[in-house]
């Protein structure tokens, strides 16, 4: 199995930026699709972005134009650059891995999950 560890979450002012990172180990990283999800208190887990084995990507409508997902297969990492942050972006952010090369917007399709990192955006 693949082990995932997120980092980079913190308190940030509205309009600011953060970069989240996810480090992977175990399975061959280059053959996996990767995703970012988030979950606010009392809310369902929500799709944010995903990236395929070869760099194709999909974003949730709420983050298009503000967030960028990227991967480095040599370093076995996937990042989420978040700009123009809003209070509505406040949540625990999770990195996830999925076999089959291409990502999915459905959390149930992912096999491995990180522990999450807290992002808090103040007004």
Q: How do residues 53-97 score in pLDDT, each as one tens digit?
A: 989 999 999 999 999 999 999 999 999 999 999 999 999 999 999
What are 91's two structure tokens? 């949540």
The CA distances from residue 68 to 15, 19, 44, 115, in Å, are 16, 9, 22, 21
pLDDT-above-90 percentage for the chain? 91
Cα-Cα-Cα-Cα torsion 37, 43, 44, 50, nearest 10 degrees, comes to -20
Give the strands of the sheet with 77-82, arranged side by side.
3-7, 18-25, 77-82, 67-72
Give me the pLDDT at residue 100, please. 80
């Amino acid at each position: 199995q693949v082990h995932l560890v997120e980092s980079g979450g913190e308190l940030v002012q509205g309009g600011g930026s953060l970069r989240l990172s996810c480090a992977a180990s175990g399975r061959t990283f280059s053959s996996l699709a990767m995703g970012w999800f988030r979950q606010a208190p009392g809310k369902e887990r929500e799709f944010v972005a995903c990236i395929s084995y070869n760099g194709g990507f999909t974003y949730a409508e709420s983050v298009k134009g503000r967030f960028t997902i990227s991967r480095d297969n040599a370093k076995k990492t996937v990042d989420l650059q978040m700009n123009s942050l809003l209070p509505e972006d406040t949540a625990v952010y999770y990195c996830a891995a999925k076999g089959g090369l291409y990502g999915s917007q459905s959390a149930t399709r992912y096999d491995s999950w990180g522990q999450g990192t807290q992002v808090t955006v103040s007004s």
